Amino acid sequence: MATVPSKAQVVVIGAGIVGNSLVHHLARLGWNDIVQLDMGPLPNPGGSTGHASNFIFLTDHSREITDLTLDSVEQYQEMGVFTKSGGFEIARTEERMEELRRRMSSAKAFGIEAEIVDPAFVKEKVPFIETDQFIGAFWQPEVGVVDSLRAGTIMRERAMETGALTVVPNVEVTDLDVEDGRITRVHTTDGSIEAGTVVIACGVWSPKIGDMAGISIPLTPAVHQMISVGPCPQLAETEGEITFPIVRDMDTFCYERQHGADMEVGSYAHRAILHEPEDIPTIEQAKLSPTEMPFTDEDFDPQLEQALELMPELLGADGAEMRYAINGLLSLTCDGQPILGESLVKGLWTAAAVWIKEGPGVGRAVAEQMTQGYSEIDIHHCDIARFYPHQMRREHTRLRTTESFIKTYGIVHPAEQYESDRDQRLSPMHDSEQKFGAVFFEAVGWERPQWYESNSDLLEVYGDAVMPREHEWDSRWWSPIINAEHLRMREAAGVVDLTAFCLFDIEGPEGSGSALASVQQTCVAQCDVAVGKVIYTPVLDAKGGFVSDLTVMRLGEDHFRVVTGGAHGQSDKKWFADRLVEGATLTELTDEVSTIGLWGPQAREILASLSSDDLSHEGFGLLTCREITVDGISVLASRISYVGELGWELYVSFADAAALWEKLLDAGQPHGARPVGIGVYATTGRIEKSYRAFGYELDAERTIVEASMQRPKVKAADFVGKADYLKQREADPQAVLCTLAVDDHTSASGVKRYMLGGEPILTRDGGTLTDGHGHHPHVTTAGSAPSLGKHLLLAFLPPAEASVGNELAVSYMEELYPVTVVSADATPAFDPDNLRMR
């Protein structure tokens, strides 16, 4: 029996696909004293890996998840545990066919071999399928199955061969010690281990282990029902595990996957059946394994009927019996993303809520981050630091996963909003916004007006200039009022609620320079500027990829304020907090300071009517900030714009924000100003200016140079990523971020179509383009540019294609639309000389 050592460099808790992959990659990257624990026996300790159906479909609408999947498949193939079977996603409805066409877009964008095929094509490969049950299918020949348990054994063995790994099965973690915010010790039923680094990779049990260290790992164990029907005579004579392609019956939320002589039928159609991590049985208590819960027949019955209709001869064959049926537990999160990275406890990492298809890729990425601070594949959407307190509640996860479970195979619009657990964070202006008929979209709990129904009168004012959309899908979660608001802002002014911004102050003792040193080494831009300057800056990781882009205001010699987007604000906060220089402190102000944007040609007039401060261009220059008084309210005003207009971001205490909002609207009314939603702020105003957004154009796999955001000079002071950034500046870019305009929207049916993002950019005649990374260009942001009367797209193009006037095409729902490059660098498509900002 292996025993628990008293010390380790790193302890990995869990021996499922994720833990096994982690120990392998950690050993490969040079970690030499790894201890892996699991409370179950090997090779199947009884977690979700043990009952997984183990098939891998490659195409996901998320590039991050697709990349992790592709990397995982490569790893499985290298280990010799991948069997290619091919896979179909079949459509029973025209609406689903449209979704499959959208999947084709993603497949092309991410370089996955795929094809839309007719039922006869499916029948040829799956002879026991009934073709009258569906109208078409999405065929991916590279789909396959893996032996995830075998992969785990191989990965553990590889780590053990290097002498780096000790595996101790049948040992349960009982507690974690945290001292001064750092993990120090793991207690087990077989003794304690001192360790400065610990990874929680134990799937459905992770929240329970996280609680031991006081961190929230907000995932919920949820049931996925699966039955095995066999032996089917059509399968019994085949050799090996799988001969026939896997069929995903998308409209019934089911799959049929051959496993030897049996057909496994899995379902995501049932009600969400959630469990608490504490209520999972022990190995001894369980009927099968702890994550194979008793099957609840009645939840599965409707699927049986549909499956039988689809494959009557196979599933209804004599002797084909339901021999195995489980309510298998897997992990779901509030946003559907895994939970990866270092937690708020130093040295305590997580790698949870991961599917078999991503397991090895996740193991590699997390091991890379643990070793070098960055990973080859950007995983920021999965960062555990992303969660705000309201998202750490189990209630939130339960409500959201209850709502999203049925969407596992669903047709989910890219802008689709959750209905549950809303109204968690309300801005001080919320009541007023409701009166304006705000249509609220949620951003990390904040309710943000996307547009205001009260502005619908502007539709008539601007007529066709609001670029109405004919197709329901294109106009779902959208309104032409957004474009009307945009036009009014450019014409007069708009007032925008930006309360969702994440704000934090970095301060140091007077004269210590620690605050400056902290921001200086974190930000690319020169931060040693005069007090009252506003700095827009990228933040890079050690290899020169984007961690964020944000603004920093110098409010005092030893006082900086960081303003960043709400979506990744918590990750940014952790990034800065982890890099504070001795003596510096970080204080979050998100829930104390609200932000209101006022922009447009009338902005100065409006603000001046409420303030006696000097607001002239000379007196209050671009990229400066200062305290002003607006009709008796003390406000920190910053002259900056994300929509390319004259104006300010006004930072005001929550207590005064609603009053300021009302005053601005009142004062603005005679000037034609309107409240304007996030639809303008985040999309139309931004895209006309070709402004880049983190999480869309910018991520850790992109560089400043590729995004054409380099300044003439690089500051002398050192900062994270500087060395690589300097190299990037010297080299030719592998891809160039461009702005493209759609030349003609007319589809074959005559209906004008408007891309929403994610679509592949091709040559005019549909040929594939490939950049220097081997990636295929796809749309990172799509949106109306009402002031130009154009629909604009942002995309990283191969450098050879990145020239203004270059004629290309975008594929949308499997039709080609002509596009032309309108900007091959950061030059805005609208107001290229930024005259309106003055």
Partner 1 sequence: MTDVLVCIKRVPDTSGQVLLTDDEQSVDARFVGFTVSNHEHAAVELAIRMADATGGTVTLLSVGPADAVEQLRSTLALGCQAAVLVEAEPTGLGPADVAAEIAAVVQDKAFDLVLLGNDAADSGDFQVPVRLAYALDRPIVVGASSVEIADGRLKSFVDGPEGEETYDLPLPAVVSVLEGGVEPRYPSLKGRMAAKKVEIETRTPTREPVGANRVRLTLPPAEPNEVEVLGEGPGTAPAVVDLFERLAVL
Partner 2 sequence: MIVTLVELENGSVSEISLETLAFARSLAAEGGGIAIRAVVVGDVDAPDAVAAELGAHGVSEVLQATGDAFSAYGGAAWAAALQAARESTKSVVVTAAGSPRGMEVLAHLAARLDVPFAANVVSFSGLAPFVVTRQVVGGAAQEEMKLDRRPAVLTVAGHSWTAAAVGGDAATWTTFSPEVAEADLVARVVATGTKDSDDSDSLKSARVVVGAGRGAGGPEGFAAVGELAELLHGSLGVSRVVTSLGWRPHHEQVGQTGSRISPELYVPCGISGAIQHWAGCSSSKVIVAINTDAEAPMMTKATYAVVGDMHEVVPAIVEEIRGRKG
Cβ-based neighbours of 96, under 8 Å, separated by 6 or more: 250, 251, 411
Cβ-based neighbours of 624, under 8 Å, separated by 6 or more: 532, 533, 534, 638, 639
Residue labelled with tokens 């092309």:
108
**Which amino acid is residue 698, in one-letter code?**
L
Q: Taking CB under 8 A as the rule, does residue 170 contact partner 2?
A: yes
Q: Taking CB under 8 A as the rule, does residue 289 contact partner 2?
A: yes
Select 191 or 766, whichever has its Cβ closest to partner 2: 191
Select 236 or 816, whichever has its Cβ closest to partner 1: 236
Three-state secondary structure along 521-551? HHECCCCCCCCCEEEEEEEECCCCCEEEEEE
Q: Taking CB under 8 A as the rule, does residue 271 contact partner 1?
A: no
- Secondary structure (DSSP) of 91-102: ESSHHHHHHHHH
Map residues 212-231 to x or -, x wherever contact with partner 1 holds by CB under 8 A: -----------------x--
Select 316 or 619, whichever has its Cβ closest to partner 1: 316
Binding range to partner 2, per CB under 8 A, among 234-242, 439-447, 457-465, 722-730: 234-242
Select 259 or 381, whichever has its Cβ closest to partner 1: 259
HSE on the CB side for 148, CA within 13 Å?
A: 31
Phi and psi at residue 736, to the nearest 5°: -130, 130
Least distance in Å: CB of 308 to partner 1?
5
Element (H, E) at 516: helix 514-522
Select 41 or 670, whichever has its Cβ closest to partner 1: 41
| C-alpha to C-alpha distance for 459 and 566, rounded to whole angstroms | 30
| C-alpha to C-alpha distance for 16 and 46, rounded to whole angstroms | 9
| C-alpha to C-alpha distance for 502 and 687, rounded to whole angstroms | 22
| C-alpha to C-alpha distance for 137 and 135, rounded to whole angstroms | 7
**Per DSSP, which regions of 479-584 are E strands?**
494-497, 502-507, 534-540, 546-556, 559-564
Which of 19, 47, 144, 260 is the binder for partner 2 (CB under 8 A)?
260
238: exposed, middle or buried (Cβ count in 10 Å: 0-12, 13-18, 19+): middle
Element (H, E) at 236: helix 233-236
Q: Taking CB under 8 A as the rule, does residue 42 contact partner 2?
A: yes
Q: Taking CB under 8 A as the rule, does residue 733 contact partner 2?
A: no
Least distance in Å: CB of 289 to partner 2?
5
| C-alpha to C-alpha distance for 120 and 125, rounded to whole angstroms | 9
Rg (CA), the chain: 28
| C-alpha to C-alpha distance for 199 and 202, rounded to whole angstroms | 9
Binding range to partner 2, per CB under 8 A, among 38-46, 115-123, 382-390, 757-765: 38-46
User: Do 204 and 331 meet the contact criterion of CB atoms below 8 Å apart?
Assistant: yes
Beta bridge partners of 694: 698
Q: Taking CB under 8 A as the rule, does residue 230 contact partner 2?
A: yes
- Number of Cβ within 10 Å of residue 632's Cβ equals 11
Which of 28, 92, 150, 722 is the binder for partner 2 (CB under 8 A)?
150
Q: Taking CB under 8 A as the rule, does residue 86 contact partner 1?
A: no
Q: Taking CB under 8 A as the rule, does residue 284 contact partner 2?
A: no
Q: Taking CB under 8 A as the rule, does residue 94 contact partner 1?
A: no
302: exposed, middle or buried (Cβ count in 10 Å: 0-12, 13-18, 19+): middle
Q: Taking CB under 8 A as the rule, does residue 261 contact partner 2?
A: yes
Residue 727 binding target from partner 2, partner 1, none, CB below 5 to 8 Å by type: none
Least distance in Å: CB of 55 to partner 2?
13
Q: Taking CB under 8 A as the rule, does residue 253 contact partner 1?
A: no
User: Do 58 and 143 meet the contact criterion of CB atoms below 8 Å apart?
Assistant: yes
Least distance in Å: CB of 269 to partner 1?
16
What residues between 46 and 85 interact with partner 2 by CB under 8 A?
Answer: 46, 50
Select 326 or 466, whichever has its Cβ closest to partner 2: 326
What residues between 289 and 348 interact with partner 1 by CB under 8 A?
Answer: 293-298, 301, 304-305, 307-308, 315-316, 320-323
Least distance in Å: CB of 245 to partner 2?
17
Residue 236 binding target from partner 1, partner 2, none, CB below 5 to 8 Å by type: partner 2
Which of 323, 407, 727, 773 is the binder for partner 2 (CB under 8 A)?
323
Least distance in Å: CB of 158 to partner 2?
17
Count residues binding partner 2 (CB under 8 A). 30
Residue 293 binding target from partner 1, partner 2, none, CB below 5 to 8 Å by type: partner 1
Q: Taking CB under 8 A as the rule, does residue 44 contact partner 2?
A: yes
User: Do 599 and 638 meet the contact criterion of CB atoms below 8 Å apart?
Assistant: no
Select 251 or 292, whichever has its Cβ closest to partner 2: 292
- Secondary structure (DSSP) of 677-710: -HIIIIIIHHHHTT---BTTTBSTT--TTTTT--
Select 41 or 214, whichever has its Cβ closest to partner 2: 41
700-701-705-711 Cα dihedral, nearest 10 degrees? 0
Least distance in Å: CB of 80 to partner 2?
11
| C-alpha to C-alpha distance for 699 and 475, rounded to whole angstroms | 28
Least distance in Å: CB of 34 to partner 1?
28
Q: Taking CB under 8 A as the rule, does residue 276 contact partner 1?
A: no
Least distance in Å: CB of 318 to partner 2?
15
Residue 744 binding target from partner 2, partner 1, none, CB below 5 to 8 Å by type: none
Count residues binding partner 1 (CB under 8 A). 26
Select 147 or 177, whichever has its Cβ closest to partner 2: 147
Residue 44 binding target from partner 2, partner 1, none, CB below 5 to 8 Å by type: partner 2
Cβ-based neighbours of 676, under 8 Å, separated by 6 or more: 452, 455, 485, 486, 488, 489, 494, 495, 496
**Which amino acid is residue 227, in one-letter code?**
I
Least distance in Å: CB of 2 to partner 2?
8
Q: Taking CB under 8 A as the rule, does residue 292 contact partner 2?
A: yes
Residue 169 binding target from partner 1, partner 2, none, CB below 5 to 8 Å by type: partner 2
Residue 115 binding target from partner 2, partner 1, none, CB below 5 to 8 Å by type: none
Give the SS3 label for residue 606.
Answer: helix
Select 283 or 392, whichever has its Cβ closest to partner 2: 283
Least distance in Å: CB of 159 to partner 2?
17
Which residues of the chain form contacts with partner 1 (CB under 8 A)?
Answer: 229, 279, 281-282, 284-288, 293-298, 301, 304-305, 307-308, 315-316, 320-323
Which residues of the chain form contacts with partner 2 (CB under 8 A)?
Answer: 1-2, 41-44, 46, 50, 147, 149-150, 169-170, 228, 230-231, 235-236, 239-241, 259-262, 288-289, 292, 323-324
